[in-house]
Structure 1
């Protein structure tokens, strides 16, 4: 079970502070988001590698924003400078309004064609030698990637809930991410993904993006969750819904049914109230520290081995989640009987 902390918006000093705290709190990695409201992920990643010791940096890259050739060069260069601590998270984007601020926007199908070619060319370049590639979106001749990496340095992850995303990830990715959801939805989604895997390739990691609201008692955690939702302005909720209603992401569209039942618990610890406020992941694990840990074990039993964690309720959640949830889990050597004992 690996944990990655989702770095928030903010100035560079705050991001560095959060990264150092994540490293001290047992997180395996931090995620730098590739979106208009955030710092440039490559420049920020370069800064973070100089100010940390061992934590991995997961750099998100939207395939509509750049070329696979320049991405591959940046990926290799920064891995060499950081002793192999850089991973890449490929995203395709969902909001035509957001994407339109940076580039010409294609429809869902055309964006995923670009993503497929992006990853395919990226992989060809990483194999070394001279590369010729002719596609609908990218065309290179006599391309050679310099500098080169050892095959073990740096992993490629892909995020997306659509069938196109699953198929591309099954063919090319070292790991595959989706937004958080109810237990049975996640179980079925990854079961479908596993059926798409070619017989001759290693099983990729499967991950979810999930928010955590944890306190000493379940009652305190749920009070904090409801206060978080109630303190948001009606304007903030309307703008979030407008954003979501103009997305063609299948992952985000799955949250539509939760807009009218924001106070309901989807499970004893799962809450979709975040879908009212956040433009990406809409689910939180809410409960006591022990309840949250048991929910994480349940997700692991259902096939999740990588957790991208946020604590959107406040700027102080990282230390709480790290010391009371991540570090206790990481201190227990993994055994199959742990889950079977906790969840018979």
Structure 2
């Protein structure tokens, strides 16, 4: 990858889509989804993304529904990823994983097996912090710092099982391996680790362990500051920095129509769902979640950046809103900052996957090609 002032040696941008394990529809924050997250429906999303040429799909992790009522149907992450890998052939899977909920040696074997079965199409998005109160639902009680320390050992030990000569030994405060084996062992083709977060602890962990640092979209100036902080930490660690960006999209042929569609997404949100989301945000130690939920008039953080989804959605609650040309121009600005992978989504995910592939990505690719020349 080139230095951040030049583009010649940067990789071709990658565009990913999203698997809506909470459910889907053109309304968010209702008690139940218009389209429940059945395997048939999620298969249609995955096959649409594959047919549209997307590189990978992010599958989030939850212990309760994070877009509709908490007791609404929810597709379990790992089972869903495994099943979708069996009905696709090319697209990759970026599977969100919380360290500490599956025994390390078993997880390493599960991931290695899925990686082999899928033809090497697995990457792992490590989620150390999680949603406030979500861990506690299932009996996990640990502080923020402990979760990051545990996540670092989790990555180190997985890499050892996947890439070091076997048998493997590893001695940490949270994980210990004594003559352990992992079969199949992926070797040099092991899944990559994506890490996110905006806190100093998260950035430090990324600088030591991330193959890709993944951030939620913020105003361009804020993103630039976070990337500057990341560059400094990665330089100290003497490691290459690869950047990804996660955002929702609301694209229409007319800008006013796009803003109307954005507002309509949360127009029917249930007060109970809004209250549940507030519980997950208020007092959270997660810097990224605080940034997503910042207050702004009409939820407009910038001319085309809207965080209305933060009223009803855990984690990434911001979207780029506008015409295909306007959104392409906005994303080009983030590419200029050094971001080479874009994880995109829109509601509903099947229709908006087609719209994004047909109307947005050709424009954005043309703009990136022009910037390179």
Flag whether TM exceeds 0.5 (same fold).
Answer: yes
Alignment partner of 1:245 out of 272, 275, 282: 282
Partner of 2:56: 29
Alpha-carbon offset, residue 159 of structure 1: 2.0
Moved over 4 A (4+): 198-202
Alpha-carbon distance in 2 for matches of 1:153, 1:110: 26
Unaligned runs of 5+ in 1: none
Question: SS at the partner of 2:130?
Answer: coil
Question: SS at the partner of 2:298?
Answer: coil
Alpha-carbon offset, residue 328 of structure 1: 4.6
Alignment partner of 1:322 out of 351, 357, 370: 357
Unaligned runs of 5+ in 2: 1-12, 22-36, 66-73
Alpha-carbon offset, residue 64 of structure 1: 3.1
Alpha-carbon offset, residue 134 of structure 1: 1.8
Q: Render the CA deviation track for 1:279-303: whole Å, top value 9, x for unaligned.
A: 1112110000111111111111112
Question: SS at the partner of 2:142?
Answer: coil
Alpha-carbon offset, residue 272 of structure 1: 1.8
Q: Render the CA deviation track for 1:157-191: whole Å, top value 9, x for unaligned.
A: 11222212211111122101122111111111111
With over 3 angstroms needed to count, the CA separation of the structure-2 counterparts of 1:206 and 1:161, relative to structure 1, is: same
With over 3 angstroms needed to count, the CA separation of the structure-2 counterparts of 1:234 and 1:104, relative to structure 1, is: closer
Alignment partner of 1:16 out of 20, 35, 43: 43
Partner of 1:310: 345
With 161-170 and 308-317 compared, the bigger mean Cα shift is at: 308-317
Contact persistence 2:44–2:350 (CA under 8 A): no
State how 1:191-340 maps to structure 2 within 5 Å: 191-198=228-235, 203-258=240-295, 261-312=296-347, 316-330=351-365, 332=366, 334-335=368-369, 337-338=370-371
CA RMSD of aligned residues (A): 2.2
Alignment partner of 1:175 out of 212, 217, 223: 212
Alpha-carbon offset, residue 327 of structure 1: 4.7
Question: SS at the partner of 2:246?
Answer: strand
With over 3 angstroms needed to count, the CA separation of the structure-2 counterparts of 1:56 and 1:119, relative to structure 1, is: same
Alpha-carbon offset, residue 153 of structure 1: 4.3
Alpha-carbon offset, residue 104 of structure 1: 1.8
1:136 and 2:173 aligned: yes
State how 1:93-112 maps to structure 2 within 5 Å: 93-112=129-148
Alignment partner of 1:5 out of 17, 25, 31: 17
Contact persistence 2:243–2:338 (CA under 8 A): yes
With 313-322 and 117-126 compared, the bigger mean Cα shift is at: 313-322
Number of residue pairs matched by the alignment: 336
With over 3 angstroms needed to count, the CA separation of the structure-2 counterparts of 1:131 and 1:18, relative to structure 1, is: same
